[in-house]
Structure 1
Amino acid sequence: MPRFILLFSLCLLATSSHAQEDGAALFKTVCAQCHGPQGEGNEVLKTPSIANLPHWYVERQLTNFHEGKRGSDAQADPQGALMAAIAKTLNPDQITAVASHVQSLTLVVPQERILAGADVKAGGELFYERCMECHRYNASGEQLFGSPPLVGRQGWYLLAQLKKFKSLHRGNAKGDEKGAKMVMMTTLFVEDEQVMKNVVSYILTLNPP
């Protein structure tokens, strides 16, 4: 291998390694206190598991928080408001670094498998009719559509996000095109909390053992 190519390759590896180290350090300093050292989340703090979320999704959400597209209403969304305050302390390079680290974390499988009183069969029908096209048949997400994986997220968190979309406390900000799509879906096809519990419970069954 020509010497300049070898040197260039070593530089790229060093840069990548440095970015990973920076991302890990940022995560430990900025994220772990609420989301846990493994990104497993904390129900008491109402912080979701973020472990293994794709970097492109984490980066977009942190940017949304940074730009005020999420977390602008502290009364309706206190957790989002806290995230917005934290995201505003990060520059674009730091956001990219921490997003890459989050993706490297091992998926944490929720312990819960069904929400109380849910109709999993009805939830599965709604999922295949309205959710599968973007989030895929196994809820693994699809970058092309900007749709994140739903597996690995706790049921209480998924339920809370559906409520926020339907009540216009998430996804209603100007410029949040992906969020706006979820607002439309919940407005048109999610009648009430029972329907939310049904589809969330079905999603929980898609998690690995």
Structure 2
Amino acid sequence: MKTTRLQLLTLMLFGIGGGGVFAADPAAPVVAGTQSMDGKVIFQTVCAQCHGTAGEGKVELKSPSIAAMPGWYMTTQFANLREGRRGQDAADPQSFMMAAVAKALQPEQIKAVIAHVEKMPMVVPMGKDREVADAKAEEGMRLFQERCMECHRYNGSGEMTFGSPPLIGRQGWYLAEQLRKFKTGKRGAMKNDVNGAKMVQITNFFVEDDQMLRDVVAYIMTLNPDAKASLEEQKRQILEGSPFESAGR
């Protein structure tokens, strides 16, 4: 039987029978395997090397913050990764690696780690994770309200009905990179990825250039609450939405 590139990567990452081994790229972290069914153990063993111990993500690995990501969205993404709707393009190494991780975990392990991640406190992007170079948030507000708000809500908190994930709590550089991947077909172009196809269409028809892309991401960053505020105050700020007086509610 012919071994695919994804199967080879899975073997290199996890070894046969779930034992942890070194990743193929020496600059990448070692991703270990586990037989545990405890979501916290699975996260710290398998996920934390790339996504951080608090789920905050790592810019050097281009891995997103996933803390507090809703379970319904993670369930869909794991299914996409396992069933070939995402992570098939080697030119998108982060998703390619995640497909290997998703295939290596047992279904019950996936459910357990999703339940754990969903309960983790959201990590508010700060510093370089929040900065978007050469961007004007005021310009991005118009595009967000016209094309993004209907699905991702006025405050970027996401909407299960539309399969739209929260945008707050994600790093600016990560959001920008995902929009570029949708626009170039590295993400969302696989058959039966309905929500991904919507994003491919939106980025190609309405995001005219990289300046517009940076502007809308800069605006999304303004929807994040103050990282130093209490959890109750953060919730209030999220519900309040945009800091711009002219922003729609």
Q: What is residue 161 of structure 2 aligned with on the other side?
A: 144
Tell me which moved more, 107-116 or 166-175. 107-116
For residues 54 and 86 of structure 2, what CA distance do their matches in structure 1 show? 24
SS at match of 1:49: coil
Q: Which amino acid aligns with 1:116?
A: A
Q: Which amino acid aligns with 2:193?
A: D
Structure number with greater CO (CA < 8 Å, separation at least 6) is: 1
Question: What's the offset of the Cα at 1:103?
Answer: 0.6
Question: What's the offset of the Cα at 1:114?
Answer: 3.6
For residues 178 and 100 of structure 1, what CA distance do their matches in structure 2 show? 22
Is the counterpart of residue 67 in structure 1 residue 79 in structure 2?
A: no
Q: What is residue 38 of structure 1 aligned with on the other side?
A: 54
Contact 1:114 1:202 in 2 (8 A): no
Q: What is residue 210 of structure 2 aligned with on the other side?
A: 193
Deviations 1:22-74 (CA, angstroms, capped at 9, x unpaired): 11111111101110111000000111100000011111111111112111111
Q: Structure 2 residue aligned with 1:184, among 186, 201, 219?
A: 201
For residues 123 and 97 of structure 1, what CA distance do their matches in structure 2 show? 37
Is the counterpart of residue 96 in structure 1 residue 96 in structure 2?
A: no
Task: Give the TM-score taking structure 1 as reference length.
Answer: 0.87
- Identity, in percent, stands at 59
Structure 1 runs of 4+ aligned residues shifted over 4 Å read none
For residues 93 and 67 of structure 2, what CA distance do their matches in structure 1 show? 22
Contact 1:114 1:205 in 2 (8 A): no
Q: Which amino acid aligns with 2:120?
A: L
Question: What's the offset of the Cα at 1:207?
Answer: 0.2
Deviations 1:5-28 (CA, angstroms, capped at 9, x unpaired): xxxxxxxxxxxxxxxx71111111
Please identify which structure carries the higher helix content: 1
Is the counterpart of residue 174 in structure 1 residue 174 in structure 2?
A: no
Q: What is residue 134 of structure 1 aligned with on the other side?
A: 151
Is the counterpart of residue 28 in structure 1 residue 53 in structure 2?
A: no
Q: Which amino acid aligns with 1:100?
A: A
Q: What is residue 87 of structure 1 aligned with on the other side?
A: 102
